[in-house]
């Protein structure tokens, strides 16, 4: 019997080609689609688990139908994923994760209102794609779980390691730092050794209808890319208007809501100013947004909480390269585990716009060592 792998299928070209490659490699592939966006609850017939699976006869949660709405994980995307599955002759199950996904939307709004900048893609991977989805995979007696992420999972030195993708422009290792270490032997990432143009070429050669489908670049529950509008609608009764201040405390102007801003932002401040001003800090208690010069954004150290290690936690300062946002080039640093399990990261060169709420991810060469959530910058020198 071939090994069974459950594959998260989004209806895009990446997960579709992942299905193609896994099928060609001889796996018993089962496609699972997660619908997570807002949609109407229109009943659809239940789909039972395959015969012989644990819990067979128990319906899997079903996607509801509303073909008029389009967005990431919409009914239209489900249709694209199903057509690819039909063409490749693999089983396909559509799961409704809207109830679980509401936690991610709450997290997104609450982080902004706490003066932090969230990363919902990381949380979605941790909670849903490699959490809830794997729970369904085990009901299907799956041996592995796979996605269309651009990252590599390889066996080296007697252990499963997570490595950056071959294509640096598409590498998604940053958003996968939170994977449970014990899950690594169960992970397959078929696209990690490919460049994006090669993936589209494979889709065209296989005559998959999604070969030219554009990549999704927006947060799936903020399709207009206006996160402040989403927050106002999600938390309508909160007053967030306040003032801009400089570092000396002088009032510069009023603002309509601090949730509109993030550390390092320069454009869209909403008032004229002599010289360039950048957001340095957001103070939710007073609703102040602190502005300053570009050099004021530089910090040499940070602390991170809720750290997840994909190696044994280091007992002494760990030389590494640390990445502080998705488009940031990892910088030389040392990561030190504190007595409470948090991590202090000291950079060889000060970094700009270190942002609470974003992730810091640690690398050794191509290998992902782990990461955590940025809590704050640090001014004090490191403890030796």
Token pair 């974003």 is at which residue?
Answer: 358
Instruction: Give the whole-angstrom CA distance, residue 288 versus residue 251.
Output: 9
Token pair 């948090």 is at which residue?
Answer: 342
Q: Identify how many contiguous H helices and E strands the chain contains and give both numbers.
A: 7, 19
Q: Which two tokens stand for residue 37?
A: 């966006």
Contact 372, 301 (CB under 8 A): no
Average pLDDT over residues 183-199: 97
CATH number for the domain harbouring residue 350: 2.40.30.10
**Looking at residue 382, what is its pLDDT?**
66
**Looking at residue 2, what is its pLDDT?**
93
User: Could you tell me the pTM of the whole model?
Assistant: 0.88
Give the closest residue to 16 by CA, choosing from 101, 68, 66, 78: 78
Average pLDDT over residues 253-262: 94
The residues pairing with 80 across neighbouring beta strands, listed in sequence order, are none
**Looking at residue 383, what is its pLDDT?**
58
304 and 279 co-located in one domain: no
305 and 282 co-located in one domain: no
How does residue 45 score in pLDDT terms, banded at 50, 70 and 90?
very low
Contact 104, 121 (CB under 8 A): no
Residue-wise pLDDT for 126-148, tens only, equals: 988 898 889 999 999 999 999 99
Whether the per-residue pLDDT at 67 is higher than 90: the answer is no
326 and 194 co-located in one domain: no
20 and 157 co-located in one domain: yes
Q: Are strands 151-156 and 159-164 parallel, antiparallel or unpaired?
A: antiparallel
111 and 177 co-located in one domain: yes
139 and 244 co-located in one domain: no
Whether the per-residue pLDDT at 71 is higher than 60: the answer is no
Element (H, E) at 6: strand 4-8
287 and 370 co-located in one domain: no
Instruction: Give the whole-angstrom CA distance, residue 327 versus residue 113.
Output: 24
The range of the structural domain enclosing residue 331 comes to 298-377
Instruction: Output the average pLDDT for the chain.
Output: 88
Percent of the chain exceeding pLDDT 90 equals 71
Q: Which two tokens stand for residue 274?
A: 């002599």
Instruction: Give the whole-angstrom CA distance, residue 283 versus residue 103.
Output: 24
188 and 308 co-located in one domain: no
**Looking at residue 248, what is its pLDDT?**
95
Average pLDDT over residues 239-252: 95
Q: How many domains does the chain have?
A: 3
Average pLDDT over residues 359-372: 98
Phi and psi angles of residue 105, each rounded to the nearest 5 degrees, phi first: -65, -40
Per annotation, catalytic residue among 73, 121, 220, 320: 220
Whether the per-residue pLDDT at 40 is higher than 80: the answer is no
200 and 250 co-located in one domain: no
- Indicate the angle between helix axes 13-24 and 75-88, nearest 10 degrees: 20
254 and 147 co-located in one domain: no
Q: Is residue 196 part of a domain?
A: yes
Examine the residue annotation and report whether 124 is marked as an active-site residue of this protein: yes
The residues pairing with 103 across neighbouring beta strands, listed in sequence order, are none
Per annotation, catalytic residue among 72, 121, 124, 320: 124
**Looking at residue 99, what is its pLDDT?**
82
Whether the per-residue pLDDT at 59 is higher than 50: the answer is no
Q: Is residue 87 part of a domain?
A: yes
Instruction: Give the whole-angstrom CA distance, residue 13 versus residue 191.
Output: 11
Average pLDDT over residues 26-44: 70
Examine the residue annotation and report whether 220 is marked as an active-site residue of this protein: yes
320 and 284 co-located in one domain: no
**Looking at residue 220, what is its pLDDT?**
78
Instruction: Give the whole-angstrom CA distance, residue 158 versus residue 106.
Output: 40
Residue-wise pLDDT for 263-287, tens only, equals: 999 988 988 777 789 999 999 999 9
Average pLDDT over residues 249-261: 94
Least confident of 50-64, 96-110, 175-189, 316-330: 50-64
Whether the per-residue pLDDT at 175 is higher than 90: the answer is yes
**Looking at residue 86, what is its pLDDT?**
96
Residue-wise pLDDT for 91-127, tens only, equals: 999 888 888 888 999 999 999 999 999 999 899 999 8
Going from the C-alpha of 248 to that of each of 222, 273, 275, 294, the distances in angstroms are: 36, 16, 17, 16
**Looking at residue 70, what is its pLDDT?**
41
């Amino acid at each position: 019997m071939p090994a069974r792998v459950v594959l998260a299928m989004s209806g895009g070209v990446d997960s579709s080609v992942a299905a193609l490659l896994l099928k060609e490699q001889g796996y018993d592939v089962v496609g699972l689609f997660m619908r997570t966006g807002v949609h109407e609850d229109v009943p659809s017939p239940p789909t039972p688990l395959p015969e012989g699976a644990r819990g067979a006869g128990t319906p899997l949660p079903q996607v509801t139908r509303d073909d008029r709405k389009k967005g990431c994980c919409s009914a239209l995307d489900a249709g694209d994923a199903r057509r690819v599955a039909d063409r490749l002759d693999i089983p396909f199950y559509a799961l409704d994760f809207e109830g679980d996904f509401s936690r991610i939307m709450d997290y997104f709004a609450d982080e902004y209102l706490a003066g932090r900048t969230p990363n919902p893609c990381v949380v979605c991977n941790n909670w849903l794609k490699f959490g809830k989805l794997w729970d369904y995979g085990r009901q299907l007696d799956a041996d592995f779980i796979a996605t269309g992420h651009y990252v590599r999972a390889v066996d080296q030195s007697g252990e499963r390691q997570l490595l950056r993708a071959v294509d640096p422009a598409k590498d998604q290792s940053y958003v996968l730092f939170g994977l449970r270490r014990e899950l690594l032997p169960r992970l397959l990432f078929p696209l990690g050794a490919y460049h994006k143009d090669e993936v589209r070429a494979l889709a065209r050669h296989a005559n998959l209808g999604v070969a030219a489908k554009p990549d999704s670049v927006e947060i799936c529950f903020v399709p207009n890319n206006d996160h402040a509008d989403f927050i106002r609608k999600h938390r309508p009764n909160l007053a967030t208007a306040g003032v801009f201040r400089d570092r000396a405390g002088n009032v510069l102007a009023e603002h309509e809501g601090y949730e509109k801003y993030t550390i390092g932002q320069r454009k869209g401040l909403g008032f004229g100013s002599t010289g360039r001003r950048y957001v340095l800090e957001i103070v939710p208690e007073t609703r102040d947004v602190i502005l300053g010069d570009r050099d004021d954004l530089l910090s040499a150290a940070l602390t991170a909480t809720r750290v997840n290690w994909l190696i044994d936690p280091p007992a002494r300062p760990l030389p590494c390269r640390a990445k502080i946002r998705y488009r940031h080039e990892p910088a030389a640093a040392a990561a030190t585990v504190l007595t409470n399990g948090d991590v202090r990261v000291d950079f060889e060169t000060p970094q700009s716009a270190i942002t609470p709420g974003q992730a810091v991810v640690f690398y050794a060469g191509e290998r992902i060592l782990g990461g955590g959530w940025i809590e704050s910058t640090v001014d004090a020198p490191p403890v030796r």
